[in-house]
Each structure stands twice: as C-alpha cells, then as structure tokens.
Structure 1
C-alpha cells in the first residue's frame, strides 16, 4: 500500500500506527456544567505499551500516529485557535490609547494572554478535516471570527477575526510542527499572527512560543511554553521582545515571561514581566534594573553551597510563588479565573466551555462544515466514547476516500474562504480571508460529516 492510500489526517506519507488497541486503563466519570458534559479520564499505560508507543513515535513522525480518543478533548483545533480571542478587551483597549508605546504594551499583553488558556490543558484537540470550518460571533465582545482547515498535508488552519465596528482585524494561520523528545512532545506553532488597528493604520505581527507537553509516557502530564516572541509595529518601528522562559533545572523560571519594548531608535522604553499563566506588568527600565541589582545582592547573601543531588528534570515542578510586583509597575493583564470544577472539564476556561454550544436555531445559520456539527466531537462531549471513536474512524476513512477520488480524477482541493497570498506587512506567504462567509451562501461547501 502506497503513502497516498495509507495515511493519517495530519501528515503525508508512511504507514499508520493504530494505537486505539493499546491497553489503556481509564476511568470515565460524568459531570455537568450547565449543558456542557465531559469526562474525567485517568489514563494508565503499561510498560510494554509504553515501549510500543515510544518506538512507534521514534521510527515515524508523531503526527502520523493515530492516538486513542481518550487522549482527546471534545474540541476541534479550529476551536482551540479561537481561544486567542478570550481577552479581546485588550485589543479594544489598545484601540483607545494615543501613545504608540502604550499600545505596544497592551498588544504584548494580548499576545501573552492568547496562550494562557493552554495552562494545564493536556487533552489533544481533534484534527480538523480538510474544509472544516468554525464560526464564532460574540456581539457582547464586538467581533466575529471564521476559521477553515485550508491544507491537509501539511495540516494548516487559518482564521480571521474582525471587529463589528471596524476597529480591528486579527488573523493568522498555524501549522503545528511536532517533535518527539522521548518523554515529551514539543509543538512549534509555525505561522504569523497579525493584528491590525484599523483607525490607527497600524499592524502588529508576531509568532507564538513553543509549547511542550512533558511526561507523555509515564507520570503527571504538564505543559510549559518557551522561546522568544518578537512583536513588530510595522507603522512606527516599535518592537517588543518577550522571552518565555523554559522551566530550568529546579523549576525556578516556570511560566515566567520577561521582555522589553524599544522604539525605532532602539531605545528601551519599558520592561515587561510576569507569567503567562497569571499576569503581566510593565515598569520603567531604570526601576527594573535597580530592583534586579537589589535582588541579586539579597540572593548572594542568602545562597549557601548545596550538595549536588539527582535532579529529575522531567518531574513536574512544585507550585511556584506568584509574581513579585516591582514598586511603580502598571498591571497590563490578569488571567480570568477558571470556573469551579474546571479540572473535571478538561481544565477548560469559562470562555472555552461555551465554544461547542449550539443555541436553538443556530444550525440553520452555520455552514454545514462547522465543527460543532461533527458527530465524533459531539459524542465525546456527551460522554459516549465508544460512539465518538467509531465516528472519528468513519470520518477519517471518508476523508481518505475523498482524497483518493480527487487524486484519481486529478483534481486539486480548492479552499472556500481563504486563499494563499502575501502578507502585506511581512512580505511572507500567508493565508488570507477572501470574505463572504457571513453572506450565508454555503452551496459550495463539501459534505464532510
């Protein structure tokens, strides 16, 4: 069987490792939050099966492995992308500020906040089918969003959010590149985020940090974000460099973010610090440096030689103390507390819990490709894992058959709402929204489900 006939819906080539038959021991409990029903799943993996999973992943790209559905959360990756909009109030605030450095501060806080919902989220979202869409309209927050799975090999998801009052546009595309490191999986969200403040005629671009899930074989799963994020204001020349710090040997830097803003003359104007799981602050550079020197002197007095012991770097670090606020700092953003019993709902935020809701009459407005209509995701949300697994397999097989038919007829897939073009601000290739989705003409949409 060739690579065109046997593939998984994330990458081209190679044979599939079907892991649904691996012996996972799991406990399923049902709980409810309003109408939202999910499962609490405790997964135990035997040693032999751990070795099987390790060598399967080692000999093939991880994205070619079909994972058991118990590892999923009842959301499509398109819905996961829409979580960038949870703190949209920061964009609205940026639109009101007259100073460009002040605007950059708030945009930087928004960039950090857009990954905050991933904290303690170890469930894998469903891979979108080619042509799958997701629509989110929030009149209370003043925006609407449309996303589409625009490529299958490699898997690329594109989104476009726009203000209902023509104040901003926020768009981008993501190609999640996975790497397997033995005990952990690293996800590089390749793609550019672009935020346009229309009335200011400003455009900001950046890329998201790397995300790593630890202890995927044994132990408690935990997540960290790390890497450098550079935000550019293409109109003023201002730049913000944010360093998402890796955990380190003793977990001292876990979740920390530090950076600075410089103007077009490369003069440092503000220092930003905080945690992507908690909050972000801004302070004058001189105040920050003075505080840093004071802290270093204090640490030098306290520190004493310690005996070297074995360090389990893959173990989840203990609970870290909250951010130490420097006198004179300004709060830019603080995370919204999660709802009660969030741990029993895949650690979803209050915003995330609403993403799968189908209000009365909504089905008549949605495109037939909207992921809220996927039977496998809906079954999993309702607690029926057996049906969810069967439906997931059916949809993947249907997609393979459609791909094979297109190949036989020498047809190429045509995206519906996005096209591959050039980002006018970076000059790089990007998936751009072509418009028209909200005209509600869905006659050309494919039959995915």
Structure 2
C-alpha cells in the first residue's frame, strides 16, 4: 500500500513555489515477509548488469571488448580470408575468422558501459580498427576496420537486447556485420550468437544460438549452431559448434562443420569425407598480447583507455573507493553534458559514423556508415595539446582469461556490494542501486520502529504503578522496536539534513540525519499527555566476517518517564546479514536496559539460527531483570521477539506474557499526509518520492535516474560548502562527539523541548 500527496509549498525565501510530492509506504511489520514474499535476489542482481559498481567490472569498456574480438589475435586469420584462391576457400576462412571473434567470458564481472562518443582506435600490423559509441539509449556501438594491403574493409553495428528468462539472462546481440574482400568483390554478411548468463544450476556465461554467414556473390551460406551445457551440467555440448556450408544455387551441403569454438573446429567434405581443421583456438586466441601506446600524443580524449584510466587503475589495485569515485565522476559528467544538450535543444552527432535506423523484421534495426572510406593508422590521430592524457590498457580477453584470472568470487563481490569487505574502512560511501532498495529511507525505518504499532505499548510504560511494572513495560517496548527484515534489499541511506516527522495519537516523532560521514541519525519524540520523552542517536558500523556482515548499531537511546523521574538507557542488538548456509537477516547480540533511579537492569540476549540452520533459537530472546542493589534476579525473560515473550517470577514461578508481536507489530497501517501544506522539503517521503514511485512501479530506470539526481545534488551541495569553507549544521539537534569505551561516540541534544504535531499521521 502507498499514499501519494502533491502540494505547492512556498520555499523559505518566499520567492517561488515548488511542488512537493510525498510517497508513503506500508511500515515494516510482522507481515513484511508474508506480504512481500521472498525477494527475488537473483533478478535484482541481474538488473545490476545495466550499471555495475566497479567491483563487478573488468578493467575495460565494452567498446574495447568489441575491438579486441577483431584485432586481438595471434594468427592473421583475417588475411587468410583475402588470400584464398577459390570462393569456397575464402568462405571457409571467413567462417573460421567469425568463430575467432568469440572469447570466453567470466561469470560475475562485466566491462563498463561505453559513454556516448567514446572511441577505441587500435592498429595491428596493416589492420586499423576504429570504434565509436554512436548512441547511448539504446546503446549502439559502431566499428570500422580497414586493411589497405589486403584490401579488406569491415563495418559492424552492434547493440544488445537483454531478456530475463528465470534462471538466466539471454542477451540478443543485434546489428549488421559486414566483411568486404574488395579484391574479389565479395561481401559477407553475418550475425552474432546470443550471450547467455546462466545462474542455475551452475553459474556460467555462454555463447548460444544460431549464426548465419552469407556471401551473395559466391552463392554460399553457412549455418552455425552454438550450444552449451545442458541444465543438468553435461559437458558434451559445452561451447560446441555444429553447422554446414551450403551452395544456395544447388541447395546442397558442401561441408559439415563440427567442433568447439574454444578448442578446434573442423569441416568434413560431404563429397569425399575428408576432415580438415579450419580453426584452432589455441593458435589464434591464446596468450594474446596487451596493446601498447605507440604515440601518446596521438591519443584522443575520447579513447576508451583514457576515459576509464582512473577506474581501471582503481580496479587493478583493488582500490574500490577510488574506482567508484572515478566511475561516478565520469557518469556525472555525462549526465551534465546530456542536460546541457537538452537545455540548448542540441542533438549529439557521432564524429566518425552516420547512424540511421530502419524497420526490419518487426523491430527497429540500426545501421551505421563510416564517414571515411578508410581507417587511418592510430599514430596519425589528432594531437591534444591541452592536457596530458593517460591511458590504462589491460590484457585482452582470450582463451587463457579463465585460467589466468581464476573464477571471480561472486559472493565476495556481492558482499562488497552490500557494504564493503574490508573491516575498518568507510563502508558508507557505496550506495545500492534502487532495485536493491525498499521504497523508504533508513530514517523512516528508525521512526517506524517507534510510531508504527497497533498497541500503545509506550503509554503502558508511563502508567505502571510500580518501578518494576514500568521497567517490565519498557523491556517489552524495547523489543517492539525490532522488525523482521528481508534479505537482499535495504532502505536508502538518508541524505544530510533529511527529516521525518510523524504523529501517532499523542506521540510526536521527529528524526533528522545530522551527519553523513559517518552516518548519524537523531530521533526526538514526546508525548505530552503521558509526559514521555525519548532521544536516540543511532549510527552503524558494519564489519565483514566471511559468510556474513555484522553491523553494530551504536548510539545512546534514552526513554524518560517524566512523571516518575525515571530515565531508561538502552542499546540495540546487532544486525547480521548472513549469506551462508542460508541467506537471512537477523537481530543478534546482547542488549542492556538500565534505570538508575529504580536500580533495575535487564540483560537480553538475541539469538538466531545455528550455522546448520536449526531453528530452535531463531529470533529467540533469553535474559533477566535484576535488582542492582540486591544483585538478584527478579524475572527470567524467555521467548521469541517475532512471537511472544514471557517473564517468569523467580520468587513464585509465575509466568506472564509481556509482549505479543502479533498484537503490536502485525497488520500495521500506512501513515497518511494529514496536513499537506505542513510538509517540509526535507521530509523523507518527499525527498525519495520519485525513487519510491519508480520502485513501486518497477520502473527501474526512472528510479535509478531519480536516485542519481538526489545523490548528484547532495555532492554538489557538499562541494559548494567546501569551497566556501562552510560547515553544515543540523536544524533540530545539537550533535557532539565524545571519546568513550575506546571509540568515538556521538551524542545528540534536541534544540526544542517538545516535538510539535506532524503533518504525517498514523491512523488509529
């Protein structure tokens, strides 16, 4: 369920009006898992392929990969195509050359998406190759290659259409590929097999499907079928090719094609049964050499190896923060250029190709035509006198790619995606793509744990007749702040100064993000009727522990029952994201609740499933309430925080239910906007409205663009403050740090003694 509110609000300077939109979604509750179901994590991971964090990238652009498939070879198989004496000999060589353009790919990593206008210009002997990214939406790459000595010309137009098919992603690689042997007046037209990323039963990347190669002048055609492992993992067809070369005029098979594209491919003459090896992968695409920069002054600023140099360097050195910052900088610049062109009404035009679309076979097809008839040697490019350009070139993808690089540890990369795998480093700078987000901010989640309840358990704390009764109610209330979380998704990281202001009955709650690095959230809540005040300071420190990420939730939590002069101080359990053996999210660890005035203390231990998956302790609580003055246990606490929790009186053995999750955090109502004009622009539901809308509608591109826009705006504000020497100051809290228990601890103090009623309310 969601609620949407649009209003016109006058800004602080009363100079102009802006339309504010608030998107509020159902709070996390006991029903979260059953209502939302198990999130399809694989499907979300698949979507990352559109815009991967650097830890999932290989250090090269997709444009370079296209180019490498043409120029990175050990055997000049392309020249053999031109030197064949007969049309059949040349055609067979073209088939072999086409097979050589396939390279083994690694599961779990992918090249960068090229930026608009990116180029890649490389020479190998007499072959000069030029590529340009001629369109961004849709992503279309163009290639032009010439060999003047052999009188060969090649043009490719390549673009991909991915489709999710349950346990795999199948990417159709479309676009016209032409190879011209000009000395013989022959043009060969061919297509590409599909790229299939398989996740089950064994993760892998395969080239699959049918390829047709046709030469109209010679009347010859090849039909190739690329196969892979069966679902049961049988390897007999792994990377295999079956096919034939036929005469179109006689409609008869001349050669039968058989083999494996990563090993050997043979043709069998149907007239005499003779078998000939036409392609050896080991000879052609093994031990390939890394390109070098021969003429540094001839590099273009648009060259792939220049554009991605800093990102490549970060990846190669495993400096993921550096790589991420460099990649973000490139993407920000591209978006700014796109906005600038749009505001001026300008259309981007490719420099080296003419791009056109034509309707073919029921789909929009793209075609490119080189602006020049030949590709110059790469050393003859224009000199850039304005700045020193740096290019980072890496080894081409080849037959040895898998053995040299090994199988990438995908789980390790996913762990890093969720936060970071290096203990002690800044784990807050990486943000998840929206497909991994739930439609709410972490600030809202903190607030929901206080105001989203069905039973006014907080008021019970204030009306207890004895200190022990009140203390027991506070223990129950503290347990109610825990909510079940879903594996594979997380809320947004709040932006600096973001607020969340909600009322439930007499309880008014205000939160503010008072620091971004480190991320510190502050909460102040007051209930004037029951004379209750609450202040929280919350921040998280995640740590990677092999098969899990354990996040310590730090910060002082105080609950004041002012009518009784009692202050309760408590902490939070740790949040643990487990990947093995069964993915899950659990609240684990020890919690202490103490009231100095009454001399009572509770010690709680939150437990989870064992490594073997036993459920006896799943979401369980064990603990006790003790008298600090007498040092004796008054109550023993037992139960499960997502079911019932009881206390057992040690003096008489009486057992009492103090908390029922079903009564308190089940079937929670979605907040609504009661006073639209009272909304602040900093309100979480306003800040993330467009992102939330995209997520709820599964419009991932819209959600991603909206989230990127927010992050860009925040970075720009941070740069502006830095350039002016200004420090950001919270609006509703005073933030201070103090050294306690060997760590820097943060403390917040509300600027106002009470929280006013909010424009957003929880229906009673």
Fold match by TM threshold 0.5: yes
Write the distance in 1 (CA, Å) between the matches of 2:439 and 2:416.
28
1:306-346 CA distances to partner (integer Å, 9 max, x unpaired)? Answer: xxxxxxxxxxxxxxxxxxxxxx31110101369xxxxxxxx
Aligned to 2:436: 71
Change beyond 3 A, Cα 1:112–1:390:
same
Cα distance in structure 2, aligned partners of 1:437 and 1:170: 10
> What is the aligned partner in structure 2 of residue 282 from structure 1?
647
Distance 1:98 1:388, change over 3 A: same
Q: How do residues 163-174 of structure 1 correspond to structure 2 at under 5 angstroms?
A: 163-174=527-538
Gaps of 5+ in 2: 1-51, 58-108, 111-161, 167-198, 205-407, 760-764
Distance in 1 of aligned mates of 2:574 and 2:581: 22
Match of 1:409 among 711, 714, 724: 724
Partner of 2:498: 132
Counterpart selection for 2:678 from 345, 365, 369: 365
Residues 94-173 of structure 1: pairs in structure 2 closer than 5 A: 94-115=461-482, 117-120=483-486, 122-139=488-505, 142-173=506-537
Deviates more, 1:170-179 or 1:19-28: 19-28
- Match in the other structure for 1:33: none
Q: Distance in 2 between matches of 1:283 and 1:205?
A: 23
User: Is the 1:168–1:196 contact (alpha carbons within 8 Å) kept by the matching residues of 2?
Assistant: yes
1:422 Cα deviation after fit: 8.8
Distance 1:242 1:199 in 2: 26
Choose which of 550, 573, 577 in structure 2 pairs with 1:213. Answer: 577
Does the 8 A contact of 1:63 with 1:178 survive in 2? no
Q: Counterparts of 1:87-98 in structure 2 under 5 Å?
A: 87=453, 89-98=456-465
CA distance in 1, matches of 2:605, 2:416: 34
Q: Distance in 2 between matches of 1:134 and 1:27?
A: 40
Which residue is 2:756 aligned to? 438
Q: In 1, are the aligned partners of 2:431 and 2:493 still within 8 Å (CA)?
A: no
Rounded Cα–Cα distance in structure 2 between residues aligned with 1:92 and 1:186: 33
Change (3 A) 1:26 1:157: farther
- Report the CA distance between 1:165 and its aligned residue: 1.2
User: In the TM superposition, what is the alpha-carbon distance from 1:121 to its structure 2 partner?
Assistant: 6.1
Deviations 1:91-119 (A, max 9, x none): 2112111111111111111111111x235
Pick the aligned partner of 2:421 from 58, 61, 64: 58
Q: Aligned-pair distance for 1:258?
A: 1.0
Report the counterpart of residue 659 of structure 2 in structure 1. Answer: 333
Deviations 1:155-185 (A, max 9, x none): 0111111114152112201111111223322
Give the structure-1-normalised TM-score: 0.70
Give the structure with the larger strand fraction: 2
Give CA-to-partner distance per residue, 1:68-101, whole Å, 9 cap, x none. 2211100101110012223462221121111111
Measure how far apart 1:285 and its partner are. 2.1
For 2:638 and 2:488, locate their aligned partners in 1 and report how far apart those are by CA, in whole Å.
26
Q: Specify the alignment match of 1:262 in structure 2.
A: 626
Q: CA deviation at 1:17?
A: 4.1
Distance 1:113 1:440, change over 3 A: closer
Mean alpha-carbon deviation: is it higher for 384-393 or for 82-91?
82-91
Structure number with bigger Rg: 2
Q: Give the distance between the partners of 2:758 and 2:641, measured in 1 at CA.
A: 37
Quick check: 2:642–2:661 contact (8 Å CA) kept in 1?
yes
Q: Relative to 1, partners in 2 of residues 1:76 and 1:26: Cα closer, same or farther, differing over 3 Å?
A: farther
| Structure 2 CA distance for aligned equivalents of residues 112 and 439 of structure 1 | 26
CA distance in 1, matches of 2:618, 2:600: 28
**1:175 aligned onto 2:567:** no
State the partner residue of 2:548.
184
Q: How many residues align?
A: 352
Q: Which has the higher contact order (CA 8 A, sep 6+)?
A: 1
Distance (whole Å) between structure 2 residues aligned to residue 388 and residue 19 of structure 1: 22
1:205-253 deviation line (CA, Å, top 9, x unaligned)? 11000111112xx875312221111100121121111111243344232
Can you list the C-alpha shifts for 1:124-164, whole angstroms capped at 9, x where unaligned?
A: 0011100000011112xx21101000001100111111114
Answer yes or no: is the 8 Å Cα contact 1:17–1:66 preserved in 2: no
Q: Give unmatched runs, 5+ long, in structure 1.
A: 1-15, 29-43, 289-327, 339-347, 442-449
TM-score of the two chains, using structure 2 as the length reference = 0.42
Q: Is the 8 A contact 1:148 1:159 kept in 2?
A: yes
SS class of match (1:58): coil
RMSD after superposition: 3.4
Instruction: For 1:392 and 1:269, locate their aligned partners in 2 and report how far apart those are by CA, in whole Å.
Output: 51
Selected match of 1:354 from 644, 664, 670: 670
For residues 666 and 467 of structure 2, the distance between their equivalents in structure 1, rounded to whole angstroms, comes to 31
| Kept in 1: contact 2:487–2:583 (CA 8 A) | no
Contact 2:509 2:755 in 1 (8 A): no
Q: Is contact 1:19-1:66 (8 Å) kept?
A: no
